[in-house]
Structure 1
């Protein structure tokens, strides 16, 4: 679990390598094109490896919950005390997400689509579900997906005069859907409408009209569905099942999620869109999360090949630390390299590779910080 979490955080931090820049410098190079695609988010529907970072992080929050609850029960904590901790953790995650998104802004940037705020908004509900039976959990999961889909479908479609240019979308954008799936079009859906009301309740430099990426506050509801899938995975892990049985369950769960998500997309019921966390996305990305967890479980716990994963464990055990480091001091480290070493060491392979080398050096500094914290058993927990 720590290695999987570390893998996810490395993918996030690796944005500093900027493979897309190399793809632009060498447009005919299939290698850089492949890496550039999987280090960026798809425009709307579909999925890249980069799109699996946030669902994986959310999924792993659910996986860890049964272990956390069991530990606190062993310590003799009451349910009230445990729920109080869940509420505090939720508030800290929300405030930390807002703080990090406000860096370099002129005033507090009240936004709630960040990974931390999304998890924070759903965490108290996840905790309550973690105290229920698996049957109740699955019922709640199903209701979340069905009711969220229904709410979108019942929200009226924009009129023929709707000016998409006013919400940051070209009128002829190829990602526009018709029919039932049109209810999930970018910046003309229920979640967008909610944010044009909700986000304007907070102090802003100018009124909120739309999110450029189409991300939305209400995504925390289906994100809870992703965390519930992780919760069930964590319960299975704690059952003490034979590895072959556990792997089979994980593989089947992943296949069901992938197949059902793709089917909903193909038949035109619900598109696979990460940016508004559609129900089809919950199922599709959840399937990948189950399969990725299976891979790490098999390699590390079953075959006992652990040494290679040590750097990932170092990162994964301090996921909040690396998340904050990347958001707060990446530019400071890069500027420090340039101030003290100049640009020459990073131009050794030519200008096209400068960002790759300076990014790799910055990642190296992050790892040294986390390795130092690991050796001294300094782990940031919320």
Structure 2
């Protein structure tokens, strides 16, 4: 297991595709299965494909942070060519002129993601500012990735770690100690949290949940630490040190376990909560993000067992496009009904929703395969 880690990691596309699959149609397949065959495993899986109502964690709550973590892992690899051309070993050594180009490229990418997030939220319906939701999943990805990139480009690893812990501890202190009018300090409810108050105060337009927004302004800060965890993982994996790849994998797994334990301990005082993106949530899900990545990296990149993951690679290589399409820009269900509806009607009534959901996935994968074969990717 001494395969080099330079170059593109296929496992990143596969892992990105794995988490995106559940959003684009996978959740509907499992929910339909749980109704058609209500055995314990399907019922449990279905329960995991809903967000926790408030405190607590489900698998569905992990999808967004894992995606953001993967974006962080890819960062050291994406800057590798620029460092090689400039003849430097670290991003901090890049010439100022080269950094300005990178800053502009990063800012452009973030702005595009912010606009695409607005499009997903219904910007093109032209309902007016008061009815437009400005916060978005894509917007948070863009902002968290941008600021993590700024930190990565300008600070060495020691200072990056200071930023990581400083953001998490600072967010914890603010949420626990800064009083909110009419509620006081440390009230971690939808209405009483500092995050919700800042959203109501500063976010224009419509909030996702009336009194707060799960992709709001203040809770984007700890999301930067989620992206930084990915940066640390990518940096460690591609580092040319004396450690073997086997030892690196063991150390990453150990770091994952430590983060999960830290998140559980912190949960006692600062509950694991995806809606608020709490510091304990960052640690707990960060640990699982590393474990997911280690498993995919080991199986796909090191053992070269990747044919099974081809559908996931199709999804992961065009993840932003399929996310936007599945979120309402394309009516895949209508197309699937048109193509497969007649055949599905011959099935037992109880199983028809399962195969209807599967047919949507088939249509989505056919579209992605068509784009993949023609090398048409939505690159931002």
TM-score for both structures, normalised by structure 1: 0.84
Unaligned runs of 5+ in 2: 1-11, 87-96
Q: State the Cα deviation string for residues 219-245 of structure 1 (Å, max 9, x = none).
A: 211111100000001101211452212
The Cα shift of 1:89 comes to: 0.6
Distance 1:251 1:321 in 2: 32
User: Does the CA contact (< 8 Å) of 1:226 and 1:282 recur in 2?
Assistant: yes
2:255 aligned residue (250, 253, 276): 253
The Cα shift of 1:208 comes to: 8.4
1:341–1:237 CA distance, 2 compared to 1 (3 A): closer
User: Does the CA contact (< 8 Å) of 1:4 and 1:296 recur in 2?
Assistant: yes
Show the 5 A alignment for 1:270-281.
Answer: 270-281=270-281
Show the 5 A alignment for 1:369-380.
Answer: 369-380=367-378
Show the 5 A alignment for 1:276-287.
Answer: 276-287=276-287
1:134–1:348 CA distance, 2 compared to 1 (3 A): farther
Residue 333 in structure 1 maps to residue 343 in structure 2? no
User: Does the CA contact (< 8 Å) of 1:254 and 1:286 recur in 2?
Assistant: yes
Aligned to 2:77: 67
Show the 5 A alignment for 1:194-213.
Answer: 194-200=198-204, 202=205, 209-211=210-212
Q: Which 10-residue stretch deviates more, 248-257 or 12-21?
A: 12-21
1:207–1:36 CA distance, 2 compared to 1 (3 A): closer
User: Does the CA contact (< 8 Å) of 2:31 and 2:46 recur in 1?
Assistant: yes
Aligned to 1:6: 17
Residue 123 in structure 1 maps to residue 123 in structure 2? no
The Cα shift of 1:31 comes to: 2.7
Q: Secondary structure at the match of 2:281?
A: helix
Distance 2:158 2:327 in 1: 39
Q: How many residues align?
A: 354
Q: State the Cα deviation string for residues 23-46 of structure 1 (Å, max 9, x = none).
A: 4566x5313211211211111222
The Cα shift of 1:296 comes to: 0.6
User: Does the CA contact (< 8 Å) of 2:120 and 2:327 recur in 1?
Assistant: yes
Aligned to 1:41: 51
Aligned to 1:312: 312
Distance 1:319 1:260 in 2: 31
CA RMSD of aligned residues (A): 2.7
Residue 353 in structure 1 maps to residue 351 in structure 2? yes
1:239–1:214 CA distance, 2 compared to 1 (3 A): closer
2:175 aligned residue (139, 147, 152): 152
The Cα shift of 1:298 comes to: 1.1
Q: State the Cα deviation string for residues 259-286 of structure 1 (Å, max 9, x = none).
A: 00001113xx210001110000000000
Residue 223 in structure 1 maps to residue 227 in structure 2? no
Aligned to 1:169: none
Distance 1:279 1:25 in 2: 39
Distance 1:150 1:341 in 2: 54
Distance 2:356 2:36 in 1: 17
Aligned to 1:173: none
User: Does the CA contact (< 8 Å) of 1:41 and 1:51 recur in 2?
Assistant: yes
1:348–1:43 CA distance, 2 compared to 1 (3 A): farther
Residue 99 in structure 1 maps to residue 119 in structure 2? yes
User: Does the CA contact (< 8 Å) of 1:60 and 1:230 recur in 2?
Assistant: yes
TM-score for both structures, normalised by structure 2: 0.85
User: Does the CA contact (< 8 Å) of 1:155 and 1:183 recur in 2?
Assistant: no
Q: State the Cα deviation string for residues 84-130 of structure 1 (Å, max 9, x = none).
A: 00101111111111110116855265435432111112233111111
Aligned to 2:196: 192
1:248–1:154 CA distance, 2 compared to 1 (3 A): same
User: Does the CA contact (< 8 Å) of 2:253 and 2:294 recur in 1?
Assistant: yes
User: Does the CA contact (< 8 Å) of 1:250 and 1:294 recur in 2?
Assistant: yes
